[in-house]
Structure 1
């Protein structure tokens, strides 16, 4: 799936949203590690990822060629500052209507509207791909993210009180949300 768009942020700067390319693998890995080190709201810690340049490059190439998966990168002043994607839950007849949505943004760029643009873009891509439902899990303490998802029509359909367990042994409740088309 091909995607590219220029948008204006709340601070007046331009943000370029575009498909991730296999050549973005090194920059994406650095970005991924930074984002995952900055917040406890994401699924993994930066040191436990199985990412390497070869795997990331191959995944980004597959996503770009896919009709159902997409990874969109957000650039400000030439720097990768955000990423969002949709991925089919599973390629089975009973599940092909569902896709998982994920998003992350470097903390210094929170509050500028990048999350809005990435979310809108992924919803647009999901509809174009023919999905009937987008799904996500969000940490219940992450009010900014929950508000963003609700703004775009995602509704809660359950909670997992022991969804994440931090390295410190603290449970993080996950809010299960979906958006139906």
Structure 2
């Protein structure tokens, strides 16, 4: 859970990044559905693996209770326009890492919202002694790959022919990770 709200002002757009709350659940369901139809960079097509308001309420509750989970939203004029999650688990052998995912409505691309959700997630992970953040990104999403590299993520591997897109072609998924190891832990 993030402590304070972070406020940003980019290209005449003011937005806040804050922890998700139950009151956001209905809007999160709508935003996720819309985003899934706006880009092929995500795993789902519009309507697939749909999460309704109650589903988001449950996710938010779980994330608040689990110290290795973080659910952030980006809000413009009181309206959620994007979100990110870091999801860990309780297994001792893998409790040092979290998986990161992010999505932003297409109308709000170019304002650094995804980048700032990532920065806030990294800050949270470092403060909470999370050793590794990992993610999956479509090989054609070069802009995202460069952003992740800028923040210390490295390519760990490639899953070949992992996604079948609307053009009928298969594309690779790049697995990236960022390590936060202190001296002596290498």
Instruction: Output the TM-score relative to the length of structure 2.
Output: 0.90
Instruction: Single out whichever of 93-102 and 169-178 deviates more from structure 2.
Output: 169-178
Equivalent-residue separation in structure 2 for 1:133 and 1:81 (angstroms): 27
Equivalent-residue separation in structure 2 for 1:33 and 1:14 (angstroms): 24
1:165 is displaced (CA, Å) by: 2.2
Instruction: Output the TM-score relative to the length of structure 1.
Output: 0.93
Corresponding position: 1:102 with 2:107:
no
Aligned residues of 2:13 and 2:111 also touching (Cα < 8 A): no
Equivalent-residue separation in structure 1 for 2:131 and 2:7 (angstroms): 26
Equivalent-residue separation in structure 2 for 1:30 and 1:146 (angstroms): 27
1:18-33 to 2 correspondences below 5 Å: 18-33=18-33
Equivalent-residue separation in structure 2 for 1:177 and 1:125 (angstroms): 18
In the TM superposition, what whole-angstrom CA distance separates every residue of 1:14-63 from its partner, at most 9, and x where no partner exists? 21111111121110000000111100000111211241222211111121
In the TM superposition, what whole-angstrom CA distance separates every residue of 1:80-133 from its partner, at most 9, and x where no partner exists? 111111001x32111111110001111111111112210100011112232100
1:3 is displaced (CA, Å) by: 3.6
Q: Secondary structure at the match of 2:94?
A: coil
Aligned residues of 2:35 and 2:104 also touching (Cα < 8 A): yes
Q: Any stretches of 5+ residues in structure 2 without a counterpart?
A: 181-186
Equivalent-residue separation in structure 1 for 2:125 and 2:37 (angstroms): 29
The residue that corresponds to 1:155 in the other structure is 154
Equivalent-residue separation in structure 2 for 1:46 and 1:64 (angstroms): 27
1:105-124 to 2 correspondences below 5 Å: 105-124=104-123
Aligned residues: 180
1:6-155 to 2 correspondences below 5 Å: 6-88=6-88, 90-155=89-154
Distance 1:6 1:93, change over 3 A: closer
